[in-house]
Amino acid sequence: MAMPAARKMTSLESIYLVELFKGLALTMGHVVKNLFDQNRFVTIEYPDVRKTMAERYRGAHRLLLRPDGKVKCVACMCCPTICPAKCITIIAGEAPDDPAEKFPVEFDIDMLRCIFCGFCVEACPKDAIRMDTRIYEVNAYTRQALIHNKTYMVNLMDGIKPPAEEFYRLNPESAPAGFVSSPSASGAP
Amino acid sequence: MPKVKINDIEVEVPAGTNMIEAAAVAGVDIPHYCYHPNLSVAGNCRMCLVDIVGGRAPEIACNMQARDGLAIRTDTPAVKKMRQSVMEFMLVNHPLDCPICDQSGECRLQDYYMEHGDYDSRGVEEKVSKKKRQDIGDKIVLDAERCVECSRCVRFGDEVTGTGDLRLMNRGDHTEIGMFPGERLQHHYQGNLADICPVGALTNRDFRFQRRVWYLKQTASICSGCATGCNIQVCHQEGEVFRYLPRRNDAVNKSWMCDEGREQVAGISGLKRILRSRVDGKTVDTEAALIALAARLKSATHVGVVLGSQATNEANWALLQTVRKNLKSARIFVTAGNDPGSFEYADKLLVDTDKNPNSAGVDLLAAFDGQVESWEAFGSAVADLDLLLVLEDDVVGRLAGRRTAAAIAYLGVSRNATSEAGSIVVPVCHPVEMDGSYVNRQGRVQRIRRAVNAAGDALPAWLIVDRLGAKLGVAPGTGMVAAAFNSMARAVPQMRGLEFKTLSEAGQQLIVETAPVAPTEATV
């Protein structure tokens, strides 16, 4: 591969000190500005303060339910097929009384492998999986806990499961559309 | 032979060849649903309509026999429009079941829609709904809605099994496939119905929701269920075998195989597999077991060896060579008959009474050796033997309680009476885990191929025997499967000229029909 030719420095740049002071001036400019107007801080005091994530932000996956309370997913295997990180594991089973016939006995996403590309959402023919939770704090103390299973992903928006969801509960205006904050959930740690 | 032209490509085909096959020779694919090479022509799907050059109207290629000067075109706008219209007509009442349908990925409707359909839906009316998930047999689930009424399954029942069980019923868009009231499929070839169904109407119960077909890799091999030696594709993913599919070979099994053959998939990773070597009840590694076995073979006075008609030609050849080169006084026997506990059914179509895949191959080697003794001789001699070395054969089970040898060494795949009685047991690869060859009942040499990795410590039998030979003194030189086969083909007159590498997918009929079982009393 051909490397691009290095840009030649101008004579002012090659003196170095001029550029150094320009940089210091920029920093000092921010310091002075922040001293007098603290509302224009670029940084926020995370985790006490959080940004409102964009509507289309791809967060942790959730599984959607049909009106009758069963998962929409029929284990068609489109998402594990398209997944470039091969992080989705589905074991299909037969539902004897369900007209959908097929359902996922197990539906695991290894969040350590997931690259949040959103292909699974695109590939789903049943609108069974979405990444509209805007949950970006996918963290846990063990690796095992980072393999999100079916129950976890179904209940993700109930506000019980992820501890970091407290903020959405306290600030409903920045919570995603499907977020339900039930009274019992709001008291949970 | 008549010369025909398909899209200006001229090919010469045997008289009577239909134009779908002729086009395939020319490299042109003519889409079809109802036509099947091993069934009669029905001509009801209309997907194979083609234009005849200079002809008045389009005709179906499946029912058009090659004749001199016949020229057809499959690339005219009219043909494209016809295919699109046929697709639209078939899909007008087809449910959107693809996410839950097992046929997805190998479905003609999906494939041909992408290739020839590709239209925007004009459907405004409700689809006709029919009964889904019908239980019509032990192996088959019927979904009447998905059916495109190609009648392949009807013809299969009429022409192949002769049971005539499935029928097309009602008229118009209410036509559906079904059984007579209160009846279920009874024959032993139900799995083929799922194979020949071009859509997802008939699906396999054992494979139902097990795995998506696009994940499965296929390895061409041979069914080890009986002496017929049906050609199969082993479908597997990540070291696990999910199903056997018949592979077309008109000389052996056409496009069919039996349900019992398919059921063998369960035995590959089953609980009965022998996974570790064992010496006197203690688990050891295979090397230690072979050292112990070699020592005992050397010290024993009366040694008997049983060739295995379950094992490959290579394994039997290796065993024959090892014993003849190292153990001059050992007696070699062949077995006859079935494994007790194997499925007892047999018919004239495919299922043979002999449940061993390589009986003919063992007979061939026994005839070549000349000194191999029969099962009857074995029955009278076995009680006097100090040590009996058995290759993949349930000898103890066959003896059915009669007195057996003082000690038994067993090289085998699964646990059985012989492995329980064996003081030395060495695990052998299942046929899907190794390369090799079988000779079927017609005297046809056919290759098996390794599809998945061996379970546990299992090794191919030819390799185990080769290592055993090295410990006994002279190795038979069968450490590679090709070397084992080639040395056998050089020695055995019926196999002369064969080479492992060049053995074709369809197998090779041996020059002479299978030899009779070796002379019995003369050598005892």
By CB atoms closer than 10 A (0-12, 13-18, 19+), residue B258 is buried
Residue A184 is predicted with a pLDDT of: 39
Residue B427 is predicted with a pLDDT of: 96
pLDDT digits (tens, 9 = 90+) for B400-457: 778 888 999 999 999 999 999 999 999 999 999 999 999 999 999 999 999 999 999 9
Mean pLDDT comparison of A134-138, A155-159, B192-196, B352-356, highest-scoring range: B192-196
What percentage of chain A exceeds 90 in pLDDT? 48
Q: How far apart are CA B295 and CA B263, in angstroms?
A: 39
pLDDT digits (tens, 9 = 90+) for B146-193: 999 999 999 999 999 999 999 999 999 999 999 999 999 999 999 999
Model confidence band, residue A187 (pLDDT cutoffs 50, 70, 90): very low
**Whether B100 and A93 lie within 8 Å, measured CB to CB:** no
The answer to whether A76 contacts chain B (CB < 8 Å) is yes
Same domain, B76 and B103: no
Model confidence band, residue A159 (pLDDT cutoffs 50, 70, 90): low
Residue B50 is predicted with a pLDDT of: 96
Whether residue A89 has pLDDT greater than 90: yes
B415 close to B198: Cβ distance less than 8 angstroms: no
Between B251 and A137, name the one with better pLDDT: B251
Same domain, B43 and B75: yes
The CATH code of the domain that includes B382 is 3.40.50.740
Determine the structural domain holding residue B127 and report its residue range.
92-215
pLDDT digits (tens, 9 = 90+) for B373-387: 988 888 888 889 999
What is the mean predicted confidence (pLDDT) over B297-326?
93
Residue A20 in any domain: the answer is: no
The per-residue DSSP string of B157-218 comes to IIIIS----EEEESSGGG-EEEEPTT----SS-THHHHHH-SSSSEEETTTTTT--GGG-EE
Contact list, B212 vs chain A (CB under 8 Å):
77, 81
Residue A28 in any domain: the answer is: no
Tally of domains within chain B = 3
Residue B523 in any domain: the answer is: no
Q: How many CB pairs under 8 A join A and B?
A: 30
The complex's ipTM works out to 0.83
Same domain, B57 and B165: no
By CB atoms closer than 10 A (0-12, 13-18, 19+), residue B301 is exposed
The CATH code of the domain that includes B81 is 3.10.20.740
Same domain, B103 and B82: no
Residue B268 in any domain: the answer is: no
For B211-260, give the secondary structure using H, E and C. CCHHHCEEEEEECCCCCCCCEEEEEEECCEEEEEEECCECCCCECCCCHH
Residue B483 in any domain: the answer is: yes
B437 close to B447: Cβ distance less than 8 angstroms: yes
**Whether B98 and A76 lie within 8 Å, measured CB to CB:** yes
Helix (H, G, I), strand (E, B) or coil at B520: coil
Same domain, B340 and B369: yes
Partner-chain residue, chosen from B100, B132, B214, that has the shortest CB–CB distance to A81:
B214
Model confidence band, residue A175 (pLDDT cutoffs 50, 70, 90): low
For B99-111, give the secondary structure using H, E and C. HHCCCCCCCHHHH
Same domain, B108 and B170: yes
Strands of A16-101 (E only): list them.
Answer: 62-63, 88-94
Same domain, B285 and B331: yes
Between A182 and A6, name the one with better pLDDT: A6
Same domain, B63 and B208: no
Same domain, B65 and B117: no
pLDDT digits (tens, 9 = 90+) for B104-143: 999 999 999 999 998 898 988 899 999 999 999 999 999 9
B240 close to B384: Cβ distance less than 8 angstroms: no
Contact list, B132 vs chain A (CB under 8 Å):
99, 101
Helix (H, G, I), strand (E, B) or coil at B55: coil
The CATH code of the domain that includes B96 is 3.30.70.20
Tally of domains within chain A = 1
The last residue of one of the domains, among B166, B196, B215, is: B215
Determine the structural domain holding residue A70 and report its residue range.
62-157
Partner-chain residue, chosen from A75, A101, A125, that has the shortest CB–CB distance to B133:
A101
Adjacent-strand bridge partners of B279 = B282, B424
The last residue of one of the domains, among B31, B65, B89, is: B89
The CATH code of the domain that includes A112 is 3.30.70.3270
Contacting A with CB below 8 Å, chain B residues are 98-100, 104, 132-133, 208-210, 212, 214-215
Same domain, B160 and B46: no
Searching chain B, which residue's CA lies closest to the CA of residue A93? B209
Same domain, B311 and B382: yes
**A174-188, B45-59, B319-333, B346-360: least confident range:** A174-188
Residue A8 in any domain: the answer is: no
Residue B228 in any domain: the answer is: no
B191 close to B100: Cβ distance less than 8 angstroms: no
Whether residue B523 has pLDDT greater than 50: no
The answer to whether A153 contacts chain B (CB < 8 Å) is no
The last residue of one of the domains, among B73, B89, B105, is: B89
What is the mean predicted confidence (pLDDT) over B225-229?
91
B243 close to B221: Cβ distance less than 8 angstroms: no
The alpha carbon of residue B134 is apart from the nearest alpha carbon of chain A, in Å, by 12
What percentage of chain B exceeds 90 in pLDDT? 78
Same domain, B412 and B312: yes
